[in-house]
Structure 1
Amino acid sequence: MKPFIFIAAVALLAAAPARSQALVDPSKVAPEYREAAERRRAEQLRQRECAMKADLAKVLPRDRTTYLNHCLETMAAKQ
């Protein structure tokens, strides 16, 4: 039983932590793709803002997707 526990502990420690998607930096993209990178960065910033609002509102995980979709739709309607 001890070898199993040891192997399981090593496997958990060796696993890389999951990282969130980094913000796109348009200045580090080839010129022909810069416009798309700028649009992607703007979308990422809107998503982060809505996620922050959901955190501050303490939205339950089961309701989070609905809240985020509504928030993104509201932001799109304002523009």
Structure 2
Amino acid sequence: MATILYFGKLSSLFGELSEQAPLPSEISDTATLRKWLDETRGFDGALMHNSVRVAVNSEIVSDPFPISNADEIAFLPPVGGG
């Protein structure tokens, strides 16, 4: 099972900081995972924004990046500050 982490406003939208999820066989990269999670977890398009970065096993990657059930995948929204 993959470990999926949601940071910032994404955790608020999902209602949890993380989940353990078996990836369906058709999910083999970060782009298809992003779309699948957005559609099945009620993110209402939030994961599809270009500003949401993805990290696989603690390294920022660009879509599409290969993933497997052994990976930790984190979704990172933009950070604001002042």
**TM-score (ref. length: structure 2):** 0.26
Q: Which has the higher contact order (CA 8 A, sep 6+)?
A: 2
State the structure with more CA Rg.
1
| Larger helix proportion of the pair | 1
